Structure 1
Amino acid sequence: MSLSGQVLDAQEQPLPYANVILLGESNQEMITGATTDEEGNYRMGNIEPGSYIIRISFIGYTDQELQLDLREDRILDPVKMTEEAETLSEVEITVKKPTLTRQPDRLVFNVQSTALSEGNMMEVVKRTPGILVLGESITVKNATPEFYINDRKVNLSSSDLLQLLEGTAASAIQSVEVITNPSARYDADSGIIVNIVMTKNLVTGYQGSVFGNYIQGVFPKYSGGTTQFLKNKNTSFFLNYNYNHRKINRDNEGFVIYPDDTWTSDINRNTWSQTHTVNFNFDVDFNEYNRLSISSNMQFLPYFKYLTKSRTEITPPTSQPFAFFNATNLSRDLRHNMGFNLDYVHTFKADNSKLMFNAHTTLYDYRRNQEVVNDYFREDGQFRESNAFKTRADQNTSIYTGQIDYSLPFKESGSFEAGAKYSKVFTESGLVQRIIENGFEIIDLDNSDMFDYDEQVYAGYVTFRKEIGDWDLSGGVRAEQTEVEAISASMTNNNTQSYLEWFPNGSIGYKINDNTSLYANYKRSIRRPDFRNLNPFEFFLNDNTVVVGNPALQPVFINNYAVGGSIGKHNFEVYFRQEDGKIFELPVQDNDENIIRYTPINFDV
């Protein structure tokens, strides 16, 4: 089934970038979602028949909820949003509202000194127009964006990124930029970028704050930290520290249909975590033409516990030697991620051009100890047998990059940029599984492995922008030579890849008058499979569910097209994205062994 409609503001004008979330009526679990386009329209497809709740939200407006029973494709009546208003007797409170600014290649959401700055980064991201957050998934225009902080890429997995966003205070944020058409200066794998711009202290002296937060849900969550600013004539220092303690509980159901029977599971998941997040930035202005900056984003998880309990019943029970089984999966993680940047900027006095150098390193260390127990029972409830094993997984990753950029502003409106970059990713991983028999641990050689991954990328780019009368032209091209070598103890041949690819992008805009303008954009980008997807380790969640990588994955090439414009206060855009070889994680069902293997594959339509 499909569901579509329109969202209007208080003046009954189309409201773009509002979040529309579809929830299950019984448990209010998030099913799917969408972001309204420039005309306030939204559409959601592939929805099962049932009863649902629609929740519509946008910053500065009261959330709207609608109940509906979906039995066929439906187009809902327009929903009019109501501006938030609060009146206190004999008290007048003035609050600065966040502002939204559209630029040719991005949306800029300014949140400094607003009510949003009282929470954490994740709360700001959820409220940013154009960004849709569903559970642990963050999307922009149905694509997963790359995250940058102060124009520097954040090298984190999706789960670690969420930890970072939830563990960093929003008081340190100046704005959030949703860059839908990044220039050739950015890496080719940055199709859409969310750049978080941190605030800087412009006033000489010291400022500091201490904050805390407590949320009582099913389980309590609490956090605390401090933000410090210090500036004198030539130097400035910023420090943010945050501690986050939380427990999360989730319940869900699942089923697998085999040829002779159906397996139905009730699953309970609990996560405990303690996270320390540290961000700092140190700037030195030697003079008005030379600046040195040192910055870091660090995350430490000394305690992370993940417990999954499930009960699986088999129908009909006579099809297997057991009728149901209980599975317990307990994992304890210890990990840290430390990223450091060294930047130097020299401004030439003659033409105000800039020469910029950047060196970056990320050090990531991960350890997991896993214990799995599966107890099997007959139809009459009598215990039949038990199977147990332990797993130790280790991963060490080092990322090194070096970049040089040159920027030349034209005397008339426009600019020219050129640069080069080298990056290296090296990962060492190990997995040891031990079977527990009669109280003794025996190494399972068939399910133990080692994996080394080495990726090097050599890149160069040129880009320009020029305004000619009412026309605004920009374009560029980036070339990237990629060298990959993956070595696994379980593979007979090493996985090597070597390819040179070109990534052009361009934009053209035309201003018809002060209230009307048009534009068109094009960009080619890449999504490389990372070492997590290529890693051939078989990681057992229980006896019948396995997560395994795919060493044969190939990079995905993406062509992005967009045409849009503005008429007065109304904006519109139509975009098309073509992905060659898109990667999906699919469940592969083994009917002979009754095993589900989740593995990523390239998929061409």
Structure 2
Amino acid sequence: MMINLNISSAKKADAGILLSMFFTMMLFLGTSLSVMAQNNSSIKGTALMADGQALPFASVALHQEDGTRIKAVLSDSLGTFSIASIPKGKFHVKVSSMGFITHQSEIIQITDVNRMIDLGLILMKEESLSLGSVNIRSQKKIIEQHLDKTIINVENSILSEGNTALELLERAPGVKVDDQGKITLKGRPGVSVMINGKLTYLSPSELSILLKGTNAASISKIEIISNPSSKFDAAGNAGIINILMKKNQMQGLNGSVSVNGGAGRNSRYGSGLNLNYRNKNVNVFGSYNYAYRGETEYLDFTRRFYTNGTAVGNPDRISNQHTKTNEPLNTHNFRMGLDLDLDSTNNLSFVVNGNIGKYLHDSKTTNQLNGFSGNLISDMLTTNYDQQNWKNLTYTAGYLHKFEKKEREFSADADYASNSFTSNLNLDTYNYPVGTSLGQRNVRRGYVPAKTNVYIFKTDYKDQFGTQLGFESGLKSSFINSDNNLVYENLSGNDWIYDVAGSNHFRYKEQIHAGYISLNQKFNTLTIQAGLRGEYTQTVGNQITSNTVFNRNYFQLFPNVNITKPLSENHQLQLAYSKRIERPDYGDLNPFRVFRDPLLYYEGNPNLKPELTQSLMANYVFKEKYTVSLNYSRTKDVITWITGQNDATNTTFESPQNLNRLVNYGLSLTGQTTYFSWWNASNFANVFKNIYNGDSGDGTFDNSRWSYSFNTQNSFKVGSGYSFELNAYFNSKSAYGISTENYYWAVSTAMQKNVLGDKGSLKVLFNDIFQSSQYKTVTRYQNIDMNSHVNVDSRRLILSFSYRFGNQKLQKERKTGGDDILKRVKGGQ
């Protein structure tokens, strides 16, 4: 059987309007070159912290010689800044940021001859205050808010030690992570996760395992990008979360070691080593992190069955299911690389990333089925043993060419990612019918070998015309080949019999070819960034078991517009529009079944279509500390996991389906506050509404709800090398598909003591002190009446030690083309 699906990117009229608007805007920006201000003078530089890391979003102000302030900008995420269109005269530049002493440059004179000034690297000194006999050092910002992104400086947070990348995201402002690893941003599902600016090709469950196995000690910062430019892949309806790993910038030989240990319901521990050698032209680096994460979870499902097919009145039967799991996770993460400056204009880079791990799901499930009057109908005991092993290896080669014109660069990257994944599972069930003492045994085993290969090729070019117009463009192609062979066998007597109905062999191929153009036009008091990305997608899915093949081919355009307007020295306004896509991964498309017990299973859907989202956003920033954001988005064909139920067999299943639409709108507030010189805080509040409506296959429905969330991050620093942190968050009830997710919250704290001449640190972390991070869901729809409660292993105490050694002299970092893209691949099911 052959299924052909051709999906149009938009109606022709809509596409014509979008293209007309875009090219009109491009024409406007292009013709503005002729009327650009003739004064193309500028002052630029790079702000760095004491350890050589970039100081993002520092305030940079241009003052006349008499002290009058005439212009102000912010440094970008790499600490670089540029002040353009400066008149002739004498000036000085002030660079300031919370926790650092304000830096003031020498007097700079702008003349006809001396128009382009480069201040180079500006090393900011950490602020220190003395109160009596107590020395108080200001804490660096942990959370930084900018117009287009939020940055979490993980390496500055003592709450990060002993945690995993996934646990860090749970505490990020506006981010919500459920028990299945599904990530939402400001209430919107469909978040793309990148590592070092490279997309991950992972399903939510696979991504969850990868992030659980990534030690927070290896992470530098996390960027939350709500409105990515056209340079980024169009994937990710709600935005992008970019996890940046640590990169040493010191010259000579240096490194660090770390070790941590503690326990929740089970023990967990880990260690890491980071080494780096850098001289004038060569940088060689490597890191290794090991982590063991013991975890026990308790899951409760209550399902009610009705003979009339509608959840009205009293149920005929009630199923109460309780599961206790033992889920140890062992992971080995390593990274090796070489940066080589061939000369002043050409750079080569080579990086190998590896993630090797083993995950065990060992659970016991009891499932009692009772009549409405309480009489026992059946009693079932299931043992589920699933051992998963995976190996991800990614190889990246990058080339960067810098032209004589400083703003002009060309980069090219090639990536190959190889992944192998195996799952050995055993499902052993005893069913005790009423009135019998001997159980009926049903034993099933499964073997899932999966292989995925990803190939990526990418080029980027950027240039600057005068001081007002920036230009970027690029091409990218990615190829994915996946082979997933699920074999189930049932035990009959002493023989294993192949399960024809349950087994499935699925091969999937995907190609995405993309190109983009982006322009950034600066006017006197206005900046417009506009881009257009085109992506052609071709997919082929082959269900070898059922001899079914489906093809999809579609081309879509993704415009992006961002307008920034400083209203005055303390007020800034930003308006943004974007169109993005979320494609179903092969795990969602593969219709194989994964059983928790014989009465509860999950399966994919080969008929899924990609979902498309259009978003509008408005931001207002006051004094570079307080941000108010309004956002609206509308998603077509939203992919949502829908619960189904067979009342006759007392069976419940979940499958992804396309609903008609999801509408999300809301308001968020972010504030950076210094209560005292020793107490800094970042507070975030979000109010939003999700409106789901569509056809779940059995009928139409509407599910909507107002929701809110709150997050506060507090840093305290006092004398004698002690520092403290306190984080708390709250997520209210929210709508997801046909279900309602209950509220949950958590409070965590940590303390640090600097030792060994401030090169070492001892830290103790107490996570989720009140064990209040509990996931409860209610589903009421047609014949479905279900409650679930997942009690995760979130409360734990961790002790850690880290030490830095070697040369600590700063060397200017070289940006390489290899830093722009690195692909992580799917790990199978």
TM-score bin (small chain): 0.7 to 0.9
Equivalent residues of 2:447, 2:488 under 8 A apart = yes
C-alpha distance in 2 between matches for 1:351 and 1:498? 41
Q: In structure 2, what is the equivalent of residue 188 of structure 1?
A: 234
Equivalent residues of 1:168, 1:240 under 8 A apart = no
Deviation at 1:212, TM superposition (A): 0.8
Return the letter of the residue paired with 1:273: L
- Cα deviation per residue 1:345-401 (whole Å; 9 max; x = unaligned)? 111113531111011122111111111111111334622411111111111111111
Aligned counterpart for 1:153 among listed residues 164, 189, 199: 199
- Cα deviation per residue 1:398-449 (whole Å; 9 max; x = unaligned)? 1111011111123213411111111111101111111101121111122222
Q: Give SS of 1:323's match.
A: strand
Distance 1:320-1:281 versus aligned 2 partners, 3 A rule: farther
Aligned counterpart for 2:173 among listed residues 112, 124, 129: 129
Q: In structure 2, what is the equivalent of residue 140 of structure 1?
A: 185
- Cα deviation per residue 1:112-155 (whole Å; 9 max; x = unaligned)? 45535644552544444343344434332223422222222233
Equivalent residues of 1:182, 1:190 under 8 A apart = no
Structure 1: which 5+ runs fail to align?
Answer: 1-59, 61-86
Write the mapping of 1:440-519 to structure 2, written as runs, cut at 5 A: 440-519=495-574
Return the letter of the residue paired with 1:156: L
Return the letter of the residue paired with 1:506: V
- Cα deviation per residue 1:446-476 (whole Å; 9 max; x = unaligned)? 2222111011111111011111111110111
C-alpha distance in 1 between matches for 2:462 and 2:500? 55
Aligned counterpart for 1:210 among listed residues 249, 254, 257: 257
C-alpha distance in 1 between matches for 2:282 and 2:200? 25
Aligned counterpart for 2:421 among listed residues 330, 348, 366: 366
C-alpha distance in 2 between matches for 1:336 and 1:540? 24
Q: In structure 1, what is the equivalent of residue 150 of structure 2?
A: 107
Equivalent residues of 1:168, 1:241 under 8 A apart = no
C-alpha distance in 1 between matches for 2:215 and 2:275? 12
Q: Give SS of 1:383's match.
A: coil
Q: In structure 2, what is the equivalent of residue 54 of structure 1?
A: none
Equivalent residues of 1:96, 1:115 under 8 A apart = no
Q: In structure 1, what is the equivalent of residue 13 of structure 2?
A: none
Equivalent residues of 2:147, 2:619 under 8 A apart = no
C-alpha distance in 1 between matches for 2:521 and 2:614? 24
Q: Give SS of 1:494's match.
A: strand
C-alpha distance in 2 between matches for 1:267 and 1:571? 44
Q: In structure 1, what is the equivalent of residue 639 of structure 2?
A: 583
C-alpha distance in 1 between matches for 2:418 and 2:224? 27
C-alpha distance in 1 between matches for 2:617 and 2:471? 23
Q: Give SS of 1:412's match.
A: coil
Distance 1:296-1:592 versus aligned 2 partners, 3 A rule: same
Return the letter of the residue paired with 2:236: S
Q: In structure 1, what is the equivalent of residue 466 of structure 2?
A: 411
Looking at both structures, which has the greater relative contact order when contacts are Cα pairs under 8 Å and sequence separation is at least 6? 2
Q: Give SS of 1:155's match.
A: coil
Query: TM-score, normalising length from structure 2?
Result: 0.60
Distance 1:95-1:300 versus aligned 2 partners, 3 A rule: farther
Equivalent residues of 1:401, 1:423 under 8 A apart = yes
Distance 1:193-1:512 versus aligned 2 partners, 3 A rule: same
Distance 1:236-1:117 versus aligned 2 partners, 3 A rule: farther
C-alpha distance in 2 between matches for 1:216 and 1:90? 38
Deviation at 1:313, TM superposition (A): 1.1
Is 1:271 paired with 2:340? no
C-alpha distance in 2 between matches for 1:493 and 1:203? 56
C-alpha distance in 1 between matches for 2:607 and 2:221? 40
Aligned counterpart for 1:422 among listed residues 456, 470, 477: 477
Is 1:395 paired with 2:395? no
C-alpha distance in 2 between matches for 1:384 and 1:368? 28
Deviation at 1:210, TM superposition (A): 1.9
Equivalent residues of 2:190, 2:236 under 8 A apart = no
- Mean Cα deviation higher: 90-99 or 424-433: 90-99
Distance 1:105-1:88 versus aligned 2 partners, 3 A rule: closer
Distance 1:329-1:110 versus aligned 2 partners, 3 A rule: closer
Deviation at 1:92, TM superposition (A): 4.5
Equivalent residues of 1:414, 1:464 under 8 A apart = yes
Equivalent residues of 2:368, 2:376 under 8 A apart = no
Distance 1:518-1:547 versus aligned 2 partners, 3 A rule: same
Aligned counterpart for 1:280 among listed residues 320, 336, 344: 336
Aligned counterpart for 1:220 among listed residues 250, 256, 267: 267
Distance 1:487-1:571 versus aligned 2 partners, 3 A rule: same
Is 1:527 paired with 2:527? no
Equivalent residues of 1:169, 1:240 under 8 A apart = no
Percent identity of equivalent pairs: 26
C-alpha distance in 2 between matches for 1:567 and 1:503? 31
Aligned counterpart for 1:314 among listed residues 369, 390, 408: 369
Write the mapping of 1:34-113 to structure 2, written as runs, cut at 5 A: 92=135, 94=137, 96-113=139-156
Deviation at 1:95, TM superposition (A): 6.5
Q: Give SS of 2:207's match.
A: helix
Deviation at 1:534, TM superposition (A): 0.5
C-alpha distance in 1 between matches for 2:160 and 2:136? 17
Distance 1:118-1:94 versus aligned 2 partners, 3 A rule: farther
Deviation at 1:536, TM superposition (A): 1.5
Q: In structure 1, what is the equivalent of residue 283 of structure 2?
A: 236
Distance 1:154-1:293 versus aligned 2 partners, 3 A rule: farther
- Cα deviation per residue 1:533-567 (whole Å; 9 max; x = unaligned)? 00021223322122111000011001111112123
- Mean Cα deviation higher: 221-230 or 111-120: 111-120
Distance 1:235-1:158 versus aligned 2 partners, 3 A rule: farther
Aligned counterpart for 1:603 among listed residues 647, 652, 659: 659
- Cα deviation per residue 1:84-128 (whole Å; 9 max; x = unaligned)? xxx999774647433444444222333445535644552544444
Q: Give SS of 1:201's match.
A: coil
Deviation at 1:340, TM superposition (A): 2.1
Distance 1:540-1:320 versus aligned 2 partners, 3 A rule: farther
Equivalent residues of 1:201, 1:236 under 8 A apart = no
- Mean Cα deviation higher: 513-522 or 277-286: 277-286
Distance 1:164-1:254 versus aligned 2 partners, 3 A rule: closer
Q: In structure 2, what is the equivalent of residue 256 of structure 1?
A: 303
Distance 1:153-1:535 versus aligned 2 partners, 3 A rule: same
Q: Give SS of 1:369's match.
A: strand
Return the letter of the residue paired with 1:533: D
Deviation at 1:234, TM superposition (A): 0.8
Deviation at 1:321, TM superposition (A): 10
Equivalent residues of 2:380, 2:430 under 8 A apart = yes
Q: Give SS of 2:328's match.
A: strand
Distance 1:119-1:283 versus aligned 2 partners, 3 A rule: farther
Q: Give SS of 1:445's match.
A: coil
Deviation at 1:227, TM superposition (A): 1.1
Aligned counterpart for 2:491 among listed residues 410, 433, 436: 436
Equivalent residues of 1:322, 1:377 under 8 A apart = no
C-alpha distance in 2 between matches for 1:162 and 1:551? 23
